[in-house]
């Protein structure tokens, strides 16, 4: 009799649990740890927390954002490589950690194509050149003439050494015959502070770094990468319009898992990400940050990443940069 009661109770409990949906079933599953290679409060962190909240509902599992900052995302990437491929650890990142860093560091401690598997992408963005409020120019031609008037030499801030912005500064200097020195900072925040304080005349960074200051009239963006102008700042010309070639491939944001992660998890996560990216409020929030929002399947993200890596591999090689 006791066994029958227990059996009945179990069946009733399971039926009640099922009626509550996947979130209730997932209470017994371990959480998903979403690694971010940059500090809390930064752009990648804000994006991760926005997506994590919605992914929880779609996956029916807790998604915990874990900030593991340091070395341009290298520490977080190494942690992903070391994680068990069981669907409990994933990594949100952009192009620097996935495509650029492995080419500029002798021993990055990971190889993206060998150690990671893509789960899906959700946005692209562009880098751009902006001038500080005390720099009296409103266009690239005016900036070039202004630097020439200073003796042909100038300093341009960049968020990190051996990064896409550093190589962009070199390309701009080479094209216009200027002696431009990239000045590396420990992130975009201190670079922005120096630009706003006119401690440095210009900076190269992502649109996300500049967009709020551009809207407030505190900085002036004078050029962006990409094949077309950005919807968030349609008056800012592209470098392609100014004659630069081979810079049409834009940086990207995506999520990766350790190599060997089960296909069932990859497919389920990818489908959930697709649904989240399609949500109007999520799209608006990401667009307001200066991102071009669009879901990419694991295969599409892999293809974009490989093409982007190839482009910048050539640029880095042509610059004469040696891995450090």
3-state secondary structure of 49: helix
Burial 156-195 (b: 16+ CB within 10 A, else e): bbbbbebbbbbbbbbbbbeebebebebbebebbeebbebb
pLDDT score of 25: 37
Per-residue confidence in pLDDT tens, the chain, 324 aa: 434 444 343 334 434 433 333 444 345 789 999 999 988 888 899 999 999 999 999 999 999 999 999 888 999 999 999 999 999 999 999 999 999 999 999 999 999 999 999 999 999 999 999 999 999 999 999 999 999 999 999 999 998 889 999 999 999 999 999 999 999 988 888 899 999 999 999 999 999 889 999 999 999 999 999 889 988 889 999 999 999 988 888 999 999 999 999 999 999 999 999 999 999 999 999 998 989 999 999 999 999 999 999 999 999 999 999 998
pTM of the model: 0.84
Are 25-124+251-319 and 127-224 the same fold in CATH? Answer: yes
pLDDT score of 246: 85
pLDDT score of 99: 97
pLDDT score of 188: 84
CATH class label, 25-124+251-319: alpha beta
pLDDT score of 24: 40
pLDDT score of 160: 85
Domain ranges within the chain, ordered by starting residue = 25-124+251-319, 127-224
pLDDT score of 248: 82
Cα-flanking dihedrals φ and ψ of residue 236, to 5°?
A: -90, 120
- 217 CB contacts (<8 Å, ≥6 apart)? none
pLDDT score of 111: 98
Can you name the residues that pair with 258 across neighbouring β-strands? 116
What CATH code is assigned to 127-224? 3.40.190.10
pLDDT score of 27: 55
pLDDT score of 53: 98
Sequential DSSP letters for 100-119:
IHHHH-S--S--HHHHEEEE
Separation of alpha carbons 102 and 97, rounded Å: 7
Which residue has 């900085």 as its token pair?
219
Separation of alpha carbons 145 and 123, rounded Å: 35
pLDDT score of 172: 96
pLDDT score of 8: 40
């Amino acid at each position: 009799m006791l066994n029958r009661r227990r059996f009945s109770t179990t069946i009733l409990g399971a039926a009640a649990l099922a009626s509550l949906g996947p979130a209730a079933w997932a209470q017994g599953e371990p959480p998903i740890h979403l690694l971010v290679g940059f500090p809390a409060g930064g752009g990648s962190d804000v994006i991760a927390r926005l997506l994590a909240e919605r992914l929880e509902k779609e996956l029916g599992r807790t998604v915990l954002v874990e900030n593991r900052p340091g070395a341009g995302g290298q520490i977080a990437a190494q942690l992903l490589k070391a994680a068990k491929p069981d669907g409990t650890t994933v990594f949100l990142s952009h192009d620097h950690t996935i495509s650029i860093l492995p080419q500029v560091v002798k021993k990055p401690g990971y190889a993206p194509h060998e150690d990671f598997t893509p789960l899906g992408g959700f946005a692209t963005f562009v880098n751009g050149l902006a001038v500080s409020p005390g720099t009296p120019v409103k266009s690239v031609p005016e900036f070039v003439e202004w630097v020439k008037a200073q003796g042909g030499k100038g300093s341009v801030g960049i968020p990190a050494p051996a990064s896409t912005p550093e190589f962009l500064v070199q390309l701009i200097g080479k094209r216009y015959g200027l002696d431009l020195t990239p000045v590396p900072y420990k992130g975009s925040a201190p670079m922005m502070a120096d630009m706003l304080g006119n401690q440095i005349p210009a900076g190269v960074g992502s649109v996300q770094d500049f967009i709020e200051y551009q809207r407030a009239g505190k900085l002036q963006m004078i050029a962006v990468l990409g094949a077309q102008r950005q919807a968030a700042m349609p008056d800012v010309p592209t470098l392609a319009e100014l004659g630069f070639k081979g810079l049409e491939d834009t940086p990207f944001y995506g999520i990766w898992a350790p190599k060997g992660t089960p296909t069932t998890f990859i497919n389920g996560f990818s489908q959930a990400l697709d649904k989240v990216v399609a949500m109007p409020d999520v799209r608006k929030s990401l667009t307001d940050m200066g991102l071009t929002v669009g879901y990419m399947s694991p295969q599409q993200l892999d293809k974009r990443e490989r093409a982007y890596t190839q482009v910048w591999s050539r640029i880095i090689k042509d610059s004469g940069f040696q891995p450090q």
